[in-house]
Structure 1
Amino acid sequence: MDGLLLALRPLYPFISLRRLFILAPPISSTTRCYFTGSNTPTLCATFQPRPQAPGRVLSRLFTSNTIMTVSNGAANGHKTTGRPLPCGIYAPTMTFFDPETEDLDIPTIKRHAERLVRDGLAGLVTMGSNGEAIHCTREEKLAVTQATREALDAAGFADTPIIVGATEGSVRGTVELCQLAQQAGGDYVLLLPPSYFRLLMDEQAVYDYFIAVADASPLPLVLYNYPGAVAGIDMDSDLLIKLAAHPNIVGTKFTCGNTGKLTRVALATDAKTPFSEGSGYMAFGGVCDFTVQTLASCGSGIIAGGANVMPKVCVKVWNLYAEGKRDEAIALQKILSKGDWVLTKAAIAGTKQAIQSYFGYGGYPRRPLKRLEKARVAAIEEGVREVMEIEKSL
């Protein structure tokens, strides 16, 4: 199998855009579907069978005719993950620190992870932008993911997947972080394109970087399109579709907020939705006020910082739309979007402050990020008050 994959690698960009299945687990014909955060089956015309763990997540080669599929990570001795990525809401979790020493606060990291999954989130992302990965050593990154996995397992959420931010500036460094993510209990990695040498990172360089990492990573890759974090590098739909042909690249997070781009990639890859298993490729919106748009664009889920603060509201918007209650979903998203904008402007310090104000823990970001002044704290609390009243009622 490895030899066949290597032989086909030069054809990845030219293979047509159809995802096909061999050795895939059968999809149930039941008319029951499970919406995010619910253990109650609901009758519906179109459905998403509830993922079963342990199981095999499949990654496909794009082919004109049925050729093959391989388990995520099976190529080149990669890991086969037993935790599929379900549709729904994911949070890029915060990393909490002791307010005096700035050491990792492992008990709070575990407490936060458990709260989020109990509130209905489909999965968690550690060491992303909200997790202050840029402020953490490799050892700390490993410890945060380990603590998160331990917390989920201990709380009875052993089937909840963890995506781990693992970007470094070189292929070698990124692959090493991917290996550490696997050791720590991660199931997938989330990767930005390298950007320090911005003027040298043309489209071919970005493509070559991701292909090289995908070839060597023990975990499947979710690409992270966030121009604001990488000196303006904005991967277009053509590049993302071409990269998606690699069997170890299984999704994209669209923090760019480009609805058209998400739609094109989702359609070309036959992305998984609440209504169809599709190919299994995951097209994630990157902001929670982008939820309805993501669903309408054939998207798979949301990975959004606001879910750290108001996970139940985020899940409710998702479920309302998936259940066909679109007017209700839009009405609730309007309220959600106002609160989320307050948090977006206040960034990591503001998100931690909102958690502190409403859940009794949170603390501060690591320096050089500043702590908020009292007037700003009051403004944040007032700005999210409406959505948090709904959050507490759910």
Structure 2
Amino acid sequence: MQQLTGTGVALITPFKKDFSVDVDGLKSVVNFQIDGGIDYLVVLGTTAEAATLTKDEKELVIKTVIEANAGRLPLVLGVGGNNTAEVAEELKTRDLSAFVAILSVSPYYNKPTQEGIYQHFKAVAQASPIPVILYNVPGRTASNMLPATVIRLANDFKNVVAIKEAAGDIVQAMKLIQGAPQGFLVISGDDMITLPMILAGGAGVISVIGEGFPKEFSQMVRLGLERKVDEAYKLHYLLADSIDMIFEQGNPAGIKHVFKELGVCGDTVRLPLVNVNEDLAGRLSAFVKKIG
């Protein structure tokens, strides 16, 4: 799965002022990523506000991204949830021919045990006709998928090929890198520690800040993978303040303001999310001007 090495981005879903899906804006976002040197695109992740999209809107987003991408980059589809049977059914019935893998989040809200998490992903792996990227994000799910559980899944199911690790814990990430079977990819899900994870043996990132500054961020990742440490850290520290800012008042409100400032698309979000306040908007705008 070398297609998943490097920089992937979790695409936003642009909305018009009336909160409908902005198809032209989404096409612009896709082209902005490709022009900026991103390696692959992730569709309908958390950053896409997938939780507030209807079934028909999700289909529209998928169709739009596939058409705009036109086969230029590998695509990954977010398919996850806290109803195991429902996730498995979707994987069995959805046309996944345009995608190289699915990204599936550890069950949220239910707070399963490690055995429950294992059994959930066993069902996902058995149902999925394409490779599976596990997604560990304790800040959203209220449970941490431990390295032992991930490594067990990676050893038991050949189509469990990677993890997006977003616990924000570099020690946990290193345990995954150390213990995972050969070829299993440990992908950062935390923009701030992407470079340290890569230098420890990680495969890259699925990023949020990377879609706002694709040229700079993807170059940082490439330099990290090439072990050009000083050059990579120069770019890391160039972008570090913006990483804090885009998450300060929720994702994707921050990154959507960056896109608005760049002229790529609007910054509308759906409730319960709201736009960033005037203070943060000003700081983000100033940062975009500085980078530009």
**Fold similarity call, TM over 0.5:** yes
The equivalent residue for 2:232 is 329
Q: 1:322 offset after TM fit, Å?
A: 3.1
Conserved? CA contact 2:16–2:266, under 8 Å: no
Question: Partners in 2 of 1:180 and 1:329 — Cα distance?
Answer: 42
Matching residue of 2:17: 99
Structure 2: which amino acid aligns with 1:113? Answer: V
What is the Cα-based RMSD across aligned positions, in Å? 1.9
Amino acid at match of 2:124: V
Shift of residue 228 of structure 1? Answer: 0.9
Q: Kindly indicate whether residue 218 of structure 2 is the aligned counterpart of residue 301 of structure 1.
A: no
Cα separation, 1, equivalents of 2:265 and 2:108: 34
Of 213, 236, 246, the residue aligned with 1:310 is 213
Please name the residue that 2:6 is paired with.
88
**Which residue does the alignment assign to 2:273?**
369
In the alignment, which of 163, 172, 175 is matched to residue 85 of structure 2?
A: 172
Using the alignment, how far apart are the partners of 2:82 and 2:237 within structure 1?
A: 38
The residue that corresponds to 2:191 in the other structure is 288
The TM-score, its normalising length taken from structure 1, stands at 0.69
Letter in 1 for 2:243: D
Distance (whole Å) between structure 1 residues aligned to residue 255 and residue 93 of structure 2: 27
> Could you say which residue in structure 2 is the equivalent of 1:45?
none
Where in structure 2 are the equivalents of 1:8-157 lying within 5 Å?
Answer: 85-100=3-18, 102-153=19-70
Aligned: 1:356 with 2:260: yes
Equivalent residue letter for 2:166: T
Match of 2:146 in 1: 236
Which AA in structure 1 matches 2:8?
Y
- Which residue does 2:282 correspond to in 1? 378
> Structure 1 runs of 4+ off > 3 angstroms?
179-184, 372-376, 383-386
With over 3 angstroms needed to count, the CA separation of the structure-2 counterparts of 1:180 and 1:330, relative to structure 1, is farther
- Counterpart Cα distance in 2 of 1:295 and 1:263: 10
CA distance in 1, matches of 2:92, 2:214: 30
Cross-structure match for 1:211: 122
Higher helix share: 2
1: CA distance between counterparts of 2:25 and 2:104? 26
For residues 93-138 of structure 1, the C-alpha deviation after alignment (integer angstroms, 9 at most, x for no partner) is 00011212x1111121122112102211110111111110111122
Residues 1:150 and 1:305: Cα distance change in structure 2 (over 3 Å): same
Count of matched residue positions in the alignment of Structure 1 and Structure 2: 290
Are 1:261 and 2:184 counterparts? no
Note the C-alpha offset of 1:256.
0.9
Once the two structures are TM-superposed, the CA of residue 282 in structure 1 deviates from its matched residue by 1.7
Separation (CA, whole Å) in 1 of partners of 2:168 and 2:53: 27
Unaligned stretches of 5+ in structure 1?
1-56, 58-83, 271-278, 390-394
Q: Does the CA contact (< 8 Å) of 1:178 and 1:189 recur in 2?
A: no
Return the letter of the residue paired with 2:103.
Answer: L
Q: Could you tell me which amino acid in structure 2 is paired with residue 162 of structure 1?
A: L
- TM-score, normalised with respect to structure 2: 0.92
SS at 2:145's partner residue? coil
Kindly tell me: are residues 360 and 212 of structure 1, through their superposed partners in 2, closer, same or farther at Cα, counting changes over 3 Å? Answer: closer
Q: Distance in 1 between matches of 2:15 and 2:91?
A: 24
Q: 1:187 to 1:318 in 2, by over 3 A?
A: same
Output one character per residue of 1:63-107: Cα deviation in whole Å (capped at 9) or x when no partner: xxxxxxxxxxxxxxxxxxxxx52411111000011212x111112
Contact 1:285–1:301 (CA<8 Å) still a contact in 2?
A: yes
Look up the SS of the partner of 1:303 in the other structure.
strand
SS at match of 1:85: helix
Identity of aligned residues (%): 24
